[in-house]
Amino acid sequence: MTEAPLIVQQDRTVLLETQHPGYEMARDRLQRFAELEKSPEYVHFYKITAVSVWNAAALGETLASIVDWLILNSRFPIARPVLAQLTEWHRRYGLLQLESAKDGSGELVLTCAEADLLAELAADDQLQKLVAHHRDGTLRVQQADRGAVKQMLVRLGYPVDDRAGYVSGDALSFALRSETQQGHAFALRGYQQAAAAAFHRGGSDLGGCGVVVLPCGGGKTVVGIGVMQLLQTNTLVLTTNTVAVRQWVREILDKTDLREDQVGEYTGEQKAIRPVTVATYQILTHRKDKLAAFTHLDVFDKGGFGLIVYDEVHLLPAPVFRATAGIQARRRLGLTATLVREDGRQDEVFSLIGPKRYEVPWKQLERAGFLATAQCFEVRVPLGPERAQRHARSGARQQFRIASENERKLDVVGALLHKHANDRVLVIGQFLQQLQQLATVFQLPLITGQTPNVERERLYAGFRSGSIQRLVVSKVGNFAVDLPDANVAIEVSGTFGSRQEEAQRLGRILRPKEDGGTACFYALVSPATREQEFAQKRQLFLTEQGYAYAIVEAATFLPAGATAGGVGAATGMAKANEDPKR
């Protein structure tokens, strides 16, 4: 009889054996209530946390379903303190409820089935400043403190089930098109309808806030549009950059019968507040200096918005968190491919945007044909002698950059461009000097944060049309870039160990291809360096989603007898790669 695939440790770490025949099934089940922390080749390490359990409870996971499955699949008996902690976390979800006072005071009422617990929490020094005892024995909360109270209680270990309702916002009547402006049939896919419905909850106070987690290429924008159509209210959409703003505007006009004068852009270039307004996080966090007030945060209070959509919610900046704490009476929808935040503020998303309402595993959409099949490779490119010496004598932070900018990666990029001569390729990286060198050597167009929006849109449009087949992009290409025909990504450097960045970059090439072809993702890594250490962390989220990185030596892609030697060899490859479309 095969041993069970899990070992559950007393610190709530769960070890999953990757060679076990039940690995994939166990991985898919485990990720619903635990977070992947590290992924060595043979054993993956997960952690059960309070927020991971609360999100599971929000998705309808019962305590019995979690505990029974863990016990059944654990190789050894699970320590009682682990089961007790899991039980307590799950019990706390929904224990505290926030409702509107029925006496017409306009206040909110915080209730709990356990009077002693409510009294204990009310004695907290910080919470005392935000709540007041009422003569009926409840705690009263002012509307303006709704978000702050929820934040504070999550930090104390008690999530709040917020049923205090929402303002309706100004009415906005519109319908979804059955045919796009380009003449293509359009309808929400089944899982997109289910995601919108899970957030909406029939328009009741049980819904109206929370996060939908879908893979890149899974149609998060369409889910947002579906929620807008269910609510029929003025909407503010917040996203990452001006290019993403304009993509949202195009999608809304393409898939609904809203008119152009009803959809506005609020960016550094235009500031039109319309029934549907699409803005960037950057414009909302703009201020003249560090001591000045934020110039545009008052946009939340304009436009009669009944719904706020947070695109790429895992990137929500701190000032927008603070503003969101003050608008808890508006419905709030977060959209993301991953709830991973590198700053560890998942509890802030949980308390201020809402719990996870819907999620679909990446591989499930791949199996259904909604995502392209992808192969991931970690290509190991050794440092040359001189750079290896610099790496050895440098500090930790500088070591990462020295390894990331390994000049020998140029030859490998050249070889991969030659291998994928007929494909649509994105070369993605972190460091501008490295990207400028790649663009120069291989005569490729380059998009960075310094590229004017008009030029970015021209290059993206050229890539979509096929007149441009290869682009070099900085981290501005990580998010909300609609390049459906891209099928190869070459990552030459990244932002330290950012798991969400790695996921977003793979997502650039996951749109299903007309020919059903496979997408290829290459992460170029200098072995035995700080970069390799961070690369292992970067790959964590994708590993959790079922993507395995094949380890490949750089020499595999180079001509027979050749070694990665830097710019000289790369220049020769660039000439061999010349293409009139680039």
> 180 lies in a domain?
no
The model carries a pTM of 0.84
535 and 378 in contact (C-beta within 8 Å)? yes
Here the CATH number for the domain that contains residue 138 is 3.30.780
Give which of 229, 228, 345 is closest to 237, Cα–Cα.
Answer: 228
Do residue 533 and residue 449 come from a single domain? yes
pLDDT tens digits, one per residue of 141-172: 999 999 999 999 999 999 999 999 999 899 99
* DSSP 8-state class, residue 113: S
Do residue 28 and residue 148 come from a single domain? no
Please provide the average confidence, as pLDDT, over all residues in the chain: 88
pLDDT tens digits, one per residue of 172-204: 999 999 998 888 899 999 999 999 999 999 988
Q: Which residues lie below 8 Å from residue 469, measured CB to CB, with a gap of 6+?
A: 423, 424, 425, 463, 579, 581, 582
Q: 3-class DSSP state for residue 319?
A: helix
Do residue 314 and residue 400 come from a single domain? no
Do residue 76 and residue 100 come from a single domain? no
Is pLDDT of 89 > 70?
A: yes
Domain count, the chain: 4
> 179 lies in a domain?
no
> 572 lies in a domain?
yes
Q: What pLDDT, on a 0 to 100 scale, did the predictor assign at position 571?
A: 47
Do residue 347 and residue 374 come from a single domain? no
Please, what is the Cα angle at 542 between 539 and 548, to 5 degrees? Answer: 80
**Residue 522 or residue 562, greater confidence:** 522
> 170 lies in a domain?
no
150 and 351 in contact (C-beta within 8 Å)? yes
Last residue of a domain, one of 360, 384, 407: 360
Using CA atoms, how far apart are residues 204 and 232, in angstroms rounded to an integer? 14
The arithmetic mean of pLDDT across residues 518-523, rounded, is: 93
Using CA atoms, how far apart are residues 56 and 62, in angstroms rounded to an integer? 8
* Lowest model confidence (mean pLDDT) among 190-204, 284-298, 370-384: 284-298
pLDDT tens digits, one per residue of 307-344: 999 998 877 777 777 778 788 889 999 998 877 666 66
Last residue of a domain, one of 323, 340, 360: 360
Here the CATH number for the domain that contains residue 421 is 3.40.50.300
> 67 lies in a domain?
yes
The arithmetic mean of pLDDT across residues 451-457, rounded, is: 88
Is pLDDT of 15 > 90?
A: yes
CB-based burial, 40-56: b 16+ in 10 Å, e otherwise: eeeebbbebbbbbbbbb
Last residue of a domain, one of 335, 360, 385: 360
The band of 20, judged by pLDDT with boundaries at 50, 70 and 90, is very high
Supply the range of the domain harboring residue 432. 369-576
Do residue 541 and residue 431 come from a single domain? yes
Do residue 480 and residue 550 come from a single domain? yes
Q: 3-class DSSP state for residue 36?
A: strand
Q: Distance between terminal CA atoms of the chain?
A: 58
> 178 lies in a domain?
no
* Lowest model confidence (mean pLDDT) among 24-33, 194-203, 507-516, 554-563: 554-563
Is pLDDT of 277 > 90?
A: yes
* DSSP 8-state class, residue 352: I
Q: What pLDDT, on a 0 to 100 scale, did the predictor assign at position 142?
A: 92
Do residue 16 and residue 35 come from a single domain? yes
Do residue 430 and residue 344 come from a single domain? no
> 11 lies in a domain?
yes
Do residue 354 and residue 374 come from a single domain? no
Do residue 453 and residue 471 come from a single domain? yes
> 106 lies in a domain?
yes
Q: What pLDDT, on a 0 to 100 scale, did the predictor assign at position 580?
A: 39
Is pLDDT of 572 > 60?
A: no
Do residue 345 and residue 381 come from a single domain? no
The band of 497, judged by pLDDT with boundaries at 50, 70 and 90, is low
Q: What pLDDT, on a 0 to 100 scale, did the predictor assign at position 466?
A: 87
Q: What pLDDT, on a 0 to 100 scale, did the predictor assign at position 562?
A: 58
